[in-house]
Each structure stands twice: as C-alpha cells, then as structure tokens.
Amino acid sequence: MRAEPIAGRYERVEEIGSGGMGRVWRGYDGVLDREVAIKLIHPAAVHTSEQAEELARRFRREARVTARIQHHGVPQVYDAVLDRPYDRLYLVMEYVRGTALRAFVDPRQPLPVTWAAAIVAQICTVLSHAHAIPVVHRDLKPENVLVTADGAVKLLDFGIAAILRTDVTRFTAAGSALGTHHYMPPEQIQNARITPQSDLYALGCVLHELLAGRPVFAGGSDFELWHQHVTEPPPPLRTLRADVPAAIEELVLDLLVKTPEDRPADAYGVYERLLPFLPLPGTAPPAAEAAPDAVPDPTLVYRRPNAPRRRPEPAAPTPRGAMSTAHPAAILRTGVREAIKAAVAQSDELLDDERFAQAAEVLDRVIGPASAALGAESPRVLALRSRRAAILVIGGDFRRALPEFDALAAAYARTAGPTGEDAVECLRQAAHCRAELGQATTALRQFRQVLRHVRVASGDASPTALDLRRSIGMLLLSEGKAAEAAAELQPLHDDLCVVYGPGHEETREVAEALARLRFTGGG
C-alpha cells in the first residue's frame, strides 16, 4: 500500500537512493503535476536522541546549502520542512534523470580525454559557485555526480558540506573525518582546515580515475588509504595511459599535491587549464574516438551549447518571508520600549525558524532609534546589540559579527569593568569569529586571555572553561601545530572523562582527534 502523501501533495513513488543519513525517493508533486526528488532522514540511522539531533542539523544544513547555490549544475530546491522532529523533516528537489558518473569508470575502457575534460570542467563551474558562498562540498566522488541525457553534469549530496570555517565549531569539528576515503584530501585526514582546495584534491582523484579507469590509491584498508593519501606520491597518468596529454597529467598531479596551498588557486583556474581539451561548438566527435555508447555524451554541452530542449522545465517560485515594514519614525511614535519588545519577539520567531538574516534585520531596524532614545551604551541597547551579534554568529555571518563583538566588549568593559561576565563573553565570541575567519594567531591569543579570566572565576573544569580549552586545542590542530594541540587536548580529554564521562559526544570528539594525531605522528 502506498504511503500517505507528504504535506498532502508529495507522493513517494520509488526509492532511488539510500545512504548513512537519508533516503531519496522519486516522487510526484500532485499540486504542480511534476516529478520531484524527496529526501527523508533514514529511521535506521537513528539510535539515540543525540543522533536524531545531529542528523536533523545535518539535514537542515544540506537543504539550506543546496538552496543557496544558484547554478544549473545543482538540483533546485523546491520545498522543505525543517522545523519538526527528525522523522518529519523532508526536502523536495528537482528530480534529475541521469547516469551516475560511476558508470563512466571502466578499467577496460578509460574515457576519451575530451569526455573527462568535459565532465570535470562542468564540475569546476559548480564548485566555483559553491566556493564563492563559501561552501566546501567535502564528499566529491563519482557517486555524487550525475550526467543527464544532454550531457549536463549535476553535483549532488551536499549532506556533509561545510560553510567555510576553521573547524572550531562542533558541526564541522576537527577529528570528524566525514567524506569518502578514496577521495579524501590529506588535510581532512589530518584534522586540518578544510578549504576549497580540499574539493580540488577530490576533483583530481575523480579526473585521474576517469582517465585511468582506477582510483589514485587502492589501499586495502582505511588506514592504508589514509597513509597513501598523506604520504605517497600519486602515479603519473602517463605511466598508466600513454595517450594522456602531458598538460592533463601535470594538472592532475597539481591537484593531488599534499599541501592545499600548493594546489591550483581555485576551480576557475582548473577550468581554464581544461579549456584546450574541450570540443568547439558545432564540431562532431572524432571518428577515431573510442567513446562508450551506454552512457550520455558529456561533450554535447560544448558541441551544441544552449541547444533547445523539447520541454522547458518549470520555474520554481521564490517564497518571501513576511517582514515588518515599520518606518523608524513609527517606532518612535509607538514608544521605544514597546518597539524593542515587539522586535525581540519577531526576531525570536524568525530565529526559531532559522531565518537568521531576517532575525538580525528586525533588530537592525530598532537599534538605531533605541540608541537615540536610550543611549548607545544603555543596558537595553547593549542587550539588543548582543542579541543581533549572536544571531549573526548562528547564521554564519562572522565577518559582520566580529566588529560588533569587539565594540560590545569595549562597551561592557567601560560600563561594568573588563573582567565582567558580559565583557568576557563578548571577547570569547570575538575570538570564535576570528577563528572562523582564519585569524588563528589573534584568535588563540584572545581565547587564552578569556580562559585566564574564566579560570579565576570558575576553575579549569567548568563548562565554559572546557569549551574554551577544546577551542584552543582544535584550533592548534587545524593550524598544523600537532605537539601543542596534543598538549592541550590530552589533559582536556582526561577532564572530560571525569566531568562528562568517556561516552559523551565531546569526550569522543576529542578522543578521535587525539587518535588522528597519533596516526599522523603528532601525539
């Protein structure tokens, strides 16, 4: 018997994919009369309430990240419900009819160079849009790439994608080796910072596999694969396949360099290096080209660019959230305290819906008039500014939040002293922002300054002190300072075992980071 439609409109027709987190169904939208893809959290993946919360966070992240990438190479998000328990969340997307890139990999018949170049060049265009947000995919592999009948490439599954940050937050914590080991860059294995160059390493693995018909490394165990990716040079393509152009071999080797900063600067640069190997518009495939006939031709998008489709795809409407349009003058007329109360209530509702930019904007509109009426450093105004800065952090807008927390720390220091609770908390938040923005040296100095204040006030094993120590250790780890990181993380692990127990999420996270340090010889 067919399941009840989701939200009264989305019917599940057949399951087309299942992974560690979710199940994907080909579905039907009874309202708009079209095929859709429906993603749900897999009940079998949930064993504890902590797992349920984590999977729900990851599911929400995938939905929002995918929706933010405005590019035809990423399936369009049509609808989502993200504010319910994990077993009632759903994501409705464009249904893509295509062939998984895995079907293109054949050791008996490696792809023509033009085909491999056409596929990887299209992936580059998607990555360039994602990295501009900035979002790192973190799980680029043939299973997450589809090629449609007209040769267009679609990049799927942003389920473990990360908004670019320095791996200090729990969601993208160092020590969490998310990804697929055959395509995992050395820095991901070593707990270091994930950057767009991490995706480029995986892209190099994919390009090598398309041309060689086999992975770069084929270790028999996870440990062996880690070791190969971290320490062993990749085999040059021309030793495996003599007809690969030297420039392509050089590009693959550049993508597979162990240190991220020595790889190509960005996906655009990789695309530029592939241009000489892409077919020109209007040209036919060479008669001698031994192309597979059971999969779509990815060169069609270059040979016949912008060719008409038999049926245009429907445009998805862009929903707009209801926003208050009150003019600042109206705020003064109705009374500033009432306006503050209303703005906070509206902001809280938007925050509950995880509409962070709108929640901050509501407070933006009242802070100016409130400052004029009550004073820029009055308790009410400082509380409003603190709330807005915190929302910016929750929404990942660290660049805007940092100067606000710096200013708030100074304001609280003037009104209540530099060691007051509010001033110290703003310093702590400013340090987090700096860590997220890559200002590691300043962030470490500021974290340690805050930790000194916290130790005096509440000791070394308070929740705040433990969190600060974790931030310091993980930041050292992401900066490649293995010995210093181990010196911070080992005593922290001992204290976490006492305070929270060895099975607690934070304890396990630090234990895994230490295990990886030992694997890489730093612990």
Active site residues: 139
Give the number of residues written for the chain. 523
Concatenating the DSSP letter of every residue in 443-463 gives HHHHHHHHHHHHHHHH-SSSH
Q: What are phi and psi of 34, to 5 degrees?
A: -150, 160
Burial class (CB in 10 A: 0-12, 13-18, 19+), 174: buried
Amino acid at site 37: A
481 in a labelled binding site: no
The H or E element spanning position 22 is strand 22-29
Enumerate helices (H) and strands (E) in the chain, giving the number of each.
Answer: 18, 10
- Under 8 Å between Cβ of 76 and 93: yes
Q: Which residue has the tokens 């084929």?
A: 218
Q: Chain centroid to CA 159: how far?
A: 8
Amino acid at site 440: A
Q: How far apart are CA 22 and CA 2, in angstroms?
A: 19
Name the 3-class secondary structure at 220. coil
Burial class (CB in 10 A: 0-12, 13-18, 19+), 402: buried
Q: How far apart are CA 27 and CA 37, in angstroms?
A: 6
Nearest to residue 190, comparing CAs of 170, 203, 174, 178? 174
Nearest to residue 122, comparing CAs of 256, 275, 281, 311? 275
> Which two structure tokens, joined as six digits, stand for 311?
């049926």
- Under 8 Å between Cβ of 481 and 517: no
- Under 8 Å between Cβ of 140 and 202: yes
Q: How far apart are CA 493 and CA 511, in angstroms?
A: 7
> Which two structure tokens, joined as six digits, stand for 198?
């991490």
Q: Which residue has the tokens 């805007």?
A: 400
Q: How far apart are CA 21 and CA 46, in angstroms?
A: 9
- Under 8 Å between Cβ of 149 and 296: yes
Q: How far apart are CA 306 and CA 308, in angstroms?
A: 6
- The side-by-side arrangement of strands in the sheet containing 34-41 is 10-18, 22-29, 34-41, 90-94, 77-81
The contacts of residue 462 (CB under 8 Å, 6+ apart) are: 454
Q: Output the known binding site.
A: 39
Which residues does the annotation place in the binding site for ATP? 39
